[in-house]
Chain A
């Protein structure tokens, strides 16, 4: 047990501290029905660091980080401008297109590079097992800052995500708030992709949020349930990864997948179907 803790200490700290913000952002994302925006932004970020590799910057350097962040902001701008009410072209379609194009472009960019395949794989599944203390602390500080922003402007952010019609009616500048939201969201996602990869960041954002929507309704309850599921799932997954010697990131993804099945079962047993689309607090 002691040894398990010794080996899994920093992955555990990363998986306990960092999903806090991701789960909260995930509630926004689920409510906005743009589930795949994180995959798309993460892939755009990965494209940025792929370009960095070709320019000779290793994935962990600041140059690479700036590049992937720059790409993410461009992606954020694109998604801000494409939030439309035109139902012939749903935003989900554009998000999907951004995802596949960014992924394919990454393959093209790295085609002539020796570590290309490895890098593509790493951006997908990450290396949360080998996370460094510095990386965890740096990302945690960033997350606290983003979390603070979300706390200060919670009224505006909750309004544009949860009740966009009312936000529009109130005359606030939805475009700017949207961009602000996507920019910070993209920054959070980019930072976590460097640690855990695209699959893990998607899982932490979406799975606890969806589980919570099956089990609770009020925002505070949604958050509590989401955090609880992320925490318990992470601990179980890291322990299983150690005991059975599975790759750590993929173990977390699968355990949280099981949590979702459990949540659905609990929801069905209680016989109180919660519609994901219902606004909270009603």
Chain B
């Protein structure tokens, strides 16, 4: 009888949580992809930014307000990434569950060590973020930390599913660890290689895989390329024999192609986020493999 009562109590506790799935909104698709893997079918996840959109600037549309209005939780990248658009959307969504400090406000960057924290803050140096470079999700180990953080946050919001989230986290971590070993082996031959990028988006990726991504087509973060700066980049690329330029979907590919034309470099599409339906590991896998292929292609020419 006692065990029956316990089972009944457990069921009663579990029911309200299960009846309405936890509704989670992620600001960017990389956070959304990890949330989907951890939350499985116990939560629903909606992304705000499209995979092809610039995460610094997301166009306000009615559906974004509606998503935030319904949400039980919002996951934000933080480090000022969404500063230009999320606060106004949240104001209009009027959802007290997402107020700062509430368990429904999940700050993914919490507990991570960010790169490039400026010593002094000066807007003349471009779009520099006070908290450091906010594009930390392109280091798989940061993705791993965020996954654990999400697991804890979801468990707090839906304690009945905690064990389920924990199991998903374990699966995610095991897969990612195995993959990371593969990726590192694939990129090991190219240690120290230079890669040019349009925006300073990939320092975490470069650090993890021993690459150098310190040449940018933008003269300062967020400032469109100028002719003088591009000429400088071309000179440096020729001097150091840099042959790969990566561009993200919302960036001007033409600029990269012009520079590539002068330097015989390869222009590589580097998606900033997992595409719809892609997992975090699949996205990272695509980045690593396309980069390896580009390095190989340019080796043959030399």
Contact = CB atoms under 8 A, between A and B. Distances in A.
17 contacts: A3-B66, A4-B62, A7-B62, A7-B65, A7-B66, A7-B69, A10-B92, A56-B123, A114-B220, A115-B84, A115-B222, A117-B224, A129-B60, A130-B92, A242-B62, A245-B63, A246-B61
B221 A248 contact: no
A245 B67 CA distance: 12
B88 A245 contact: no
A129 B127 contact: no
Which label, helix, strand, loop or mixed, suits the secondary structure of the B interface? loop
A132 interface: yes
B91 A130 contact: yes
A263 interface: no
A214 B226 CA distance: 48
Contacts, number: 64
A10 B60 CA distance: 14
B174 interface: no
A248 B123 CA distance: 31
A114 B223 CA distance: 5
B141 interface: no
Q: Which of A4, A113, A241 is most buried by chain B, counting CB atoms within 10 A of its CB?
A: A113
Q: Is the interface of A mostly helix, strand, loop or mixed?
A: helix
Interface residues of B, number: 26
Interface of B: 56-57, 59-63, 65-66, 69, 84, 88-89, 91-92, 123-124, 126-128, 220-224, 226
Interface of A: 3-4, 6-8, 10, 56, 111-118, 127, 129-130, 132, 241-242, 245-248
A114 B88 CA distance: 20
A260 B123 CA distance: 45
Contact of B91 (A111, A132, A245): A132
A7 B222 CA distance: 31
Contacts of B223: 111-114, 116
Pairs of residues from A and B, 5 with the lowest C-beta to C-beta distance, nearest first: A114-B127, A114-B222, A245-B63, A130-B88, A242-B62
